[in-house]
Structure 1
């Protein structure tokens, strides 16, 4: 299970660029690999401030992984957030506290990542990351909700490659 939890530590969101904020950017910015949501235009009204808010929440997650400090991650997650993954044929969903405990027990980690897609609709967002933690590779997905002007991660789902 520890290898599965590592996926949570691997998703580092530093270069989050908004394909949703500018559909032309989807076609020209090689750093942004966007899904079809930009072509369909439902999130293209997303403001730079909204994208910055999402980056801020994901940045807490990132910083916590790099520094091995759960207190940092707590700033980016909703109190009742969950983390889910498949183990064999079973779905496992745990409170985000499991990730916090892992941060505190294992300390700092190195990670690489690539943002695979982003989608924003009003006060909800989905972000998919392709990450590498050590030799292990993962797909990580985050659901975020904006409340009281702050974006919070409400769920993290991941899949080892």
Structure 2
């Protein structure tokens, strides 16, 4: 008895791709950066303002939903508090909160977000790989195993 017929190849393939998978491209340099909300007693720290502008000019910005702005305001408040009075507790909370928005390379990997590579970056990588000096196979000094001896 031969057994059941094999499944068709289209039904055997794994489909582990998540719904968040995306290739992100940098927004235009003219994209609008939403203003930070006014603070009651002080101004925003300059590093927080720079972080906020970088955030909205990053490739992740188009992925933010309008409802995300409130979480980003909360994160900006934490970042501002860290720059005013650095602490491990604030750094840990910032790390946890920024995961929600894909702000670190590991978070983007978890969300399966890839940043689109430009032709220029790919050309630089190719040039770097081709210009790297290669050890000659004929040169025994280039082989680190040449110092090993059988005892």
Q: TM-score, normalised by structure 2?
A: 0.28
Q: TM-score, normalised by structure 1?
A: 0.27
Q: Which has the higher helix share?
A: 2
Structure (1 or 2) with the larger CA radius of gyration: 2
